[in-house]
Amino acid sequence: MRRAAWIAAALVLMSAAPAVASPLDAASSHAGLRAQRAFESSLVRKKGAAQSGVKAFVAGVQAKCPRVLESLSSSDTFASGAASQFGKEVGADLVLAAFASYRAPLATLERRIARLRWSSPAIGARLGRALDAETTVFSLMPSDLCADGAALVANGGRHFPPGAHAFLSTFQHEAERSGRLDVKQILLRYRQPGSDKKLVREIGRLEERADSWLGDVFAVEVPKLLNAVGLFV
């Protein structure tokens, strides 16, 4: 048993170890990281468009179904699980409303990565799967929050509606899959040891800026949307 555990641990370490980069792979990794930097820079530049998309989604819900859940806010039948799931649906919708503005930069990144050449076709295939996963998430459409709110009211708040559950499950599954297949991490695996440190730091800073900005927007817009549907106010 102990020998089997050692073998398993060794296999994990081997799979996590950096690849030995060939000159071709190192050059492609560098070009790919430059494309990734341009992509992250585009996300920062498009923050105004992303914010407009989020605000438009909130305004649309406000206009279509104002305070649709108000009757449930103080109801004894409103299950905490259903309320929590609806809150997650709200968050997912706002993320997707922001992501719509990022589809064009992602398509550009995908084209640039597809042009790279590698020592093994498997590397390109791995990157292709990662980009496909990101594209799938960015292409998802927000749910019909008003219809789901009305369905929740119709069942007295006892159950999260099936259609809303399907939407949220799809979003969570695809987001998790995209996180596992990370383009930047694949590219980093094939760079020369110690190379591109400045470039990697720049990408990290741009990622932090984009994430921080989105977090600030959601801190404002999520409560506004919850108020619009009459939930927890």
Cβ 58 vs Cβ 228: under 8 Å: yes
| pLDDT at residue 3, rounded to an integer | 39
Question: Tell me: the pLDDT tens digits for 149-177?
Answer: 999 999 999 999 999 999 999 999 999 99
Q: Which two tokens stand for residue 55?
A: 């605000």
Q: Which residues of 112-133 are buried (b: 16+ CB within 10 A; e: fewer)?
A: bbeebebeeeebeebbeebbeb
Mean residue pLDDT of the chain comes to 89
Return d(Cα 134, Cα 112) in angstroms, integer. Answer: 15
C-alpha neighbours within 13 Å on the C-beta side of residue 155: 14
pLDDT band at residue 203 under the 50/70/90 scheme: very high
Which amino acid, 9?
A
**What's the whole-number mean pLDDT along residues 137-159?**
95
| Across 21-30, 94-103, 137-146, least confident range | 21-30
Cβ 203 vs Cβ 32: under 8 Å: no
